[in-house]
Structure 1
């Protein structure tokens, strides 16, 4: 069986998500040590609780990692539907790569300057790609 070209952007976004996971911990653990947060005694807390204890620029990485686990889950599902429907090629591959590229741009904005307007633009454009892919999936499934 030949691999669908739509698998490549899916794997690329998975790898980007794991890179952001690594970046989050490479910055968060030293910041927690500097803030003298004893993680061994933390009970019943969640990552967002650290917003009050760590510098915002450190937490931006964690926020972005969480964002990469939210809407992109729809991306993965839509990609699977497109592949299984036999339309995981052509324009859908272009839209998928655009989605991944825009999510990477969104991440880089959020974890560096965190300028909300620019971050929103990248998010909105990526969402438009996802909407188009979703419409293509619906056409393939319901046609």
Structure 2
């Protein structure tokens, strides 16, 4: 495990862009199948407009990308707080890597199978890691 607490954040940022690419490629491939021509599409379209138009399996990747732009923003801040306050320990690095691995597993699950009970468990365990990291960041920053 790398000693740098910021490494898990860099990996998750890269993973988020991988998901953006996967979502984009999947959507563009689906457009022709459902008869969407971007040259004639009305201006101002949004991703939400494709719900019910594109197959769910296509939209799930986009949903996951959106999720990666939500809660992980807290993760990035927390690991920076820990890094700057000297809170990088074996425990915080393990929790940070666990969070990232769980979010990547969550991405694969949501993007392919998307059974909510399993997805909820993966998300919940990742959230517990983030909660623990946040608590440790408060302790580290209060000194």
Q: Deviations over 1:9-61 (max 9, x none)?
A: 11111111111111111211010121121223232221111012100000000
Q: Deviations over 1:56-115 (max 9, x none)?
A: 000000000000000000000001000010112311000000000100111111001101
Structure 2's unaligned 5+ residue stretches are none
Supply the distance in 1 between the matched residues of 2:3 and 2:119 (Cα, whole angstroms).
30
Please provide the CA RMSD for this pair: 1.4
Supply the distance in 1 between the matched residues of 2:89 and 2:42 (Cα, whole angstroms).
48
Supply the distance in 2 between the matched residues of 1:119 and 1:96 (Cα, whole angstroms).
19
Task: Name the TM-score, length of structure 1 as normaliser.
Answer: 0.93
2:70 corresponds to: 70
* 2:131 is the alignment partner of 1:131: yes
2:32 corresponds to: 33
SS of equivalent residue, structure 1 residue 39? coil
2:79 corresponds to: 79
SS of equivalent residue, structure 2 residue 51? helix
Structure 1's unaligned 5+ residue stretches are none
Q: What is the number of residues matched between the two proteins?
A: 141
Supply the distance in 1 between the matched residues of 2:49 and 2:100 (Cα, whole angstroms).
29
Task: Name the TM-score, length of structure 2 as normaliser.
Answer: 0.93
